[in-house]
Amino acid sequence: MGIVVVDVMLKSEILDPQGQAVAGALPRLGFNQFTDVRQGKRFVLTVDGEVTDQVLAAAREAAERMLSNPVIEDVVSVRAQSPEATSRTALSQASESHA
Protein backbone atom coordinates (compact mmCIF):
# COMPACT_ATOMS: atom_id res chain seq x y z
CA MET A 1 0.00 0.00 0.00
CA GLY A 2 1.39 3.39 -1.00
CA ILE A 3 0.40 6.82 0.11
CA VAL A 4 0.62 10.20 -1.60
CA VAL A 5 0.16 13.35 0.45
CA VAL A 6 -1.14 16.49 -1.27
CA ASP A 7 -1.09 19.85 0.51
CA VAL A 8 -3.18 22.76 -0.76
CA MET A 9 -3.20 26.32 0.60
CA LEU A 10 -5.24 29.40 -0.26
CA LYS A 11 -3.09 31.85 -2.21
CA SER A 12 -1.49 34.40 0.07
CA GLU A 13 -3.43 37.29 -1.48
CA ILE A 14 -6.80 35.61 -0.82
CA LEU A 15 -8.46 36.38 2.50
CA ASP A 16 -8.76 33.28 4.71
CA PRO A 17 -11.84 33.69 6.93
CA GLN A 18 -11.29 30.30 8.63
CA GLY A 19 -7.72 31.14 9.50
CA GLN A 20 -8.83 34.50 10.84
CA ALA A 21 -11.42 32.83 13.07
CA VAL A 22 -8.71 30.57 14.50
CA ALA A 23 -6.31 33.51 14.90
CA GLY A 24 -9.01 35.40 16.77
CA ALA A 25 -9.58 32.53 19.21
CA LEU A 26 -5.95 31.60 20.02
CA PRO A 27 -5.38 34.55 22.39
CA ARG A 28 -8.25 33.25 24.55
CA LEU A 29 -5.95 30.34 25.42
CA GLY A 30 -3.07 32.66 26.11
CA PHE A 31 -1.39 32.21 22.73
CA ASN A 32 -0.58 35.83 22.01
CA GLN A 33 2.52 35.31 19.87
CA PHE A 34 0.77 34.18 16.64
CA THR A 35 0.07 37.22 14.52
CA ASP A 36 -1.63 35.36 11.68
CA VAL A 37 -3.11 31.93 10.92
CA ARG A 38 -3.72 30.44 7.47
CA GLN A 39 -5.59 27.15 7.22
CA GLY A 40 -4.97 24.68 4.41
CA LYS A 41 -6.07 21.26 3.24
CA ARG A 42 -4.24 17.94 3.24
CA PHE A 43 -5.32 15.04 1.04
CA VAL A 44 -3.97 11.55 1.75
CA LEU A 45 -4.32 9.38 -1.36
CA THR A 46 -3.88 5.62 -1.00
CA VAL A 47 -2.92 3.26 -3.84
CA ASP A 48 -2.40 -0.48 -4.08
CA GLY A 49 1.30 -1.19 -4.48
CA GLU A 50 4.11 1.32 -4.50
CA VAL A 51 4.02 5.00 -5.27
CA THR A 52 5.59 5.02 -8.71
CA ASP A 53 6.41 8.06 -10.81
CA GLN A 54 3.18 7.43 -12.70
CA VAL A 55 1.18 7.45 -9.47
CA LEU A 56 2.86 10.71 -8.47
CA ALA A 57 2.12 12.22 -11.88
CA ALA A 58 -1.53 11.19 -11.58
CA ALA A 59 -1.68 12.69 -8.08
CA ARG A 60 -0.21 15.95 -9.40
CA GLU A 61 -2.81 16.07 -12.15
CA ALA A 62 -5.64 15.32 -9.69
CA ALA A 63 -4.27 18.06 -7.44
CA GLU A 64 -4.29 20.61 -10.26
CA ARG A 65 -7.64 19.63 -11.77
CA MET A 66 -9.80 18.81 -8.78
CA LEU A 67 -8.17 19.01 -5.36
CA SER A 68 -7.31 22.68 -5.86
CA ASN A 69 -8.83 25.62 -7.69
CA PRO A 70 -5.96 27.54 -9.35
CA VAL A 71 -7.93 30.79 -9.11
CA ILE A 72 -7.70 30.83 -5.32
CA GLU A 73 -5.38 28.03 -4.23
CA ASP A 74 -1.82 26.72 -4.68
CA VAL A 75 -0.78 23.08 -4.61
CA VAL A 76 2.05 23.40 -2.08
CA SER A 77 3.35 19.84 -2.33
CA VAL A 78 2.64 16.40 -3.76
CA ARG A 79 4.86 13.71 -2.22
CA ALA A 80 5.03 10.02 -1.49
CA GLN A 81 4.88 8.98 2.12
CA SER A 82 6.59 5.69 2.96
CA PRO A 83 4.35 3.02 4.53
CA GLU A 84 6.84 2.78 7.45
CA ALA A 85 6.38 6.46 8.17
CA THR A 86 2.63 6.00 8.14
CA SER A 87 2.63 3.04 10.52
CA ARG A 88 5.16 4.80 12.80
CA THR A 89 2.81 7.78 12.97
CA ALA A 90 -0.11 5.50 13.74
CA LEU A 91 1.92 3.69 16.44
CA SER A 92 3.12 6.86 18.11
CA GLN A 93 -0.41 8.23 18.09
CA ALA A 94 -1.68 5.01 19.63
CA SER A 95 0.96 5.05 22.38
CA GLU A 96 0.25 8.71 23.11
CA SER A 97 -3.43 7.99 23.53
CA HIS A 98 -2.55 5.16 25.96
CA ALA A 99 -0.24 7.38 27.94
Partner 1 sequence: MRIGVVTFPGSLDDHDARRAVRVAGGEPVSLWHGDDSLRGVDAVVLPGGFSYGDYLRAGAIARFAPVMSALIPAALGGLPVLGICNGFQILCESHLLPGAMIQNDHRTFICRDQRLRVENATTAWTSDFAQDDEIIIVLKNQDGQYVADRHTLDELEGEGRVAFRYVVHAAGAPAAKYDRFASRNPNGSYRDIAGVTNERGNVVGLMPHPEHAIEQGYGPSLDGLKFFTSVLKSVVNA
Minimum separation from the CB atom of position 46 to partner 1 (A): 17
Q: Which of 1, 26, 44, 72 binds partner 1 (CB under 8 A)?
A: 72
With contact defined as beta carbons under 8 Å apart, do 74 and 81 qualify?
A: no
Residue type, 67: L
Q: Under the criterion CB under 8 A, does residue 10 sit at the interface with partner 1?
A: yes
How far apart are alpha carbons 11 and 7 in whole angstroms?
A: 12
Report d(CA 5, CA 51) in Å as an integer: 11
69 in contact with partner 1 (CB under 8 A): yes
Contact positions toward partner 1, by CB under 8 A? 10, 13-15, 17-18, 20-21, 66-67, 69, 71-72
